[in-house]
């Protein structure tokens, strides 16, 4: 039991507190601590849906992050686990009601994530018109690359994003195809709650995510950021 003293009073956590989750910063020994993990859905022009309406936004549990990728477990409670490759960005300056002109000043850097989804659970929740977060909330559901700082790579506004499954291409688009680009994601999220340093936002996935099974090899790429490799175990 961890115990601390505050103003002469001894207090203890009744269970061991979780360690902070952090992503490595590429090319350094530094770490980017993650506070909240937002996901923005239906955000590529090639995917079906309303291109003019608000994007669906979910929160993923931070402890689902797998820094650097590698082996990821096949999720419990599902027989239909999908891969989705996404560009992510990390916030280093907080704010509410951020303007589009100021939005990119809040971005520390960029990375790549596989947003793993229990699609059979998702379909059932959609049918019953119930909250869908649990379809993305599980151990190993968010493998991520290191964060590439803006100071090193600049802002990612265009370039290929693609994913292969066992060396067969399954997804491809261009970052320029985003309906809400990075700046607009920041504008819209900061209207709903104050963004804070440590927040990470995923920008959605291109069309045609597909099911995976144990032993499958996943490879995702975004021009200007790099590559993410995972194996489902």
What integer pLDDT is reported at residue 157 of this predicted model? Answer: 97
Q: Find, among 172, 183, 176, the residue nearest to 157 by Cα.
A: 176
* 6: exposed, middle or buried (Cβ count in 10 Å: 0-12, 13-18, 19+): exposed
Does domain 20-232 fall under CATH 1.10.10.10? My reply is no
DSSP-derived pairing of the beta strands 70-72 and 226-232? parallel
What integer pLDDT is reported at residue 51 of this predicted model? Answer: 72
What integer pLDDT is reported at residue 4 of this predicted model? Answer: 63
pLDDT grade, residue 101 (50/70/90)?
A: very high
Q: Is residue 88 within 8 Å of residue 199, measured between CB atoms?
A: no
Q: Is the pLDDT of residue 34 over 60?
A: yes
List, for residues 114-156, the tens digit of each pLDDT value: 999 999 999 899 889 888 889 999 999 999 999 999 999 999 9
List, for residues 162-214, the tens digit of each pLDDT value: 999 999 999 999 999 999 999 999 999 999 999 999 999 999 999 999 999 99
Q: Find, among 203, 146, 144, the residue nearest to 176 by Cα.
A: 203
Domain boundaries defined on the chain: 20-232
What integer pLDDT is reported at residue 205 of this predicted model? Answer: 95
């Amino acid at each position: 039991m961890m115990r601390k003293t505050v103003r002469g009073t001894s207090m203890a956590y009744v269970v061991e507190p979780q360690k902070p989750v952090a992503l490595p910063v590429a090319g350094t020994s530094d770490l980017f601590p993650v506070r909240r993990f937002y996901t923005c859905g239906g955000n590529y022009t090639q995917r079906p849906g309303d291109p003019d309406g608000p994007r669906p936004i979910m929160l993923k549990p931070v402890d689902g992050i797998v820094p650097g990728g590698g082996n990821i477990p096949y999720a419990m409670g599902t027989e239909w686990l999908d891969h989705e490759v996404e560009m992510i960005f990390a916030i280093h300056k907080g704010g509410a009601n951020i303007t589009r002109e100021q939005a990119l000043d809040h971005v520390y850097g960029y990375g790549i994530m596989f947003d793993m989804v229990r699609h059979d659970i998702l379909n059932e929740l959609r049918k019953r018109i119930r909250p869908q977060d649990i379809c993305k909330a599980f151990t190993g559901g968010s493998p991520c690359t290191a964060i590439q700082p803006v100071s090193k790579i600049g802002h990612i506004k265009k370039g290929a994003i693609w994913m292969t499954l066992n060396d067969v291409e399954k997804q491809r688009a261009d970052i320029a195809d985003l309906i809400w680009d990075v700046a607009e994601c920041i504008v819209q999220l900061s209207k709903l709650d104050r963004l804070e340093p440590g927040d990470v936002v995923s920008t959605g996935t291109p069309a045609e995510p597909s099911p995976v099974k144990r032993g499958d090899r996943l490879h995702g790429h975004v021009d200007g950021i790099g590559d993410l490799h995972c194996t489902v175990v």
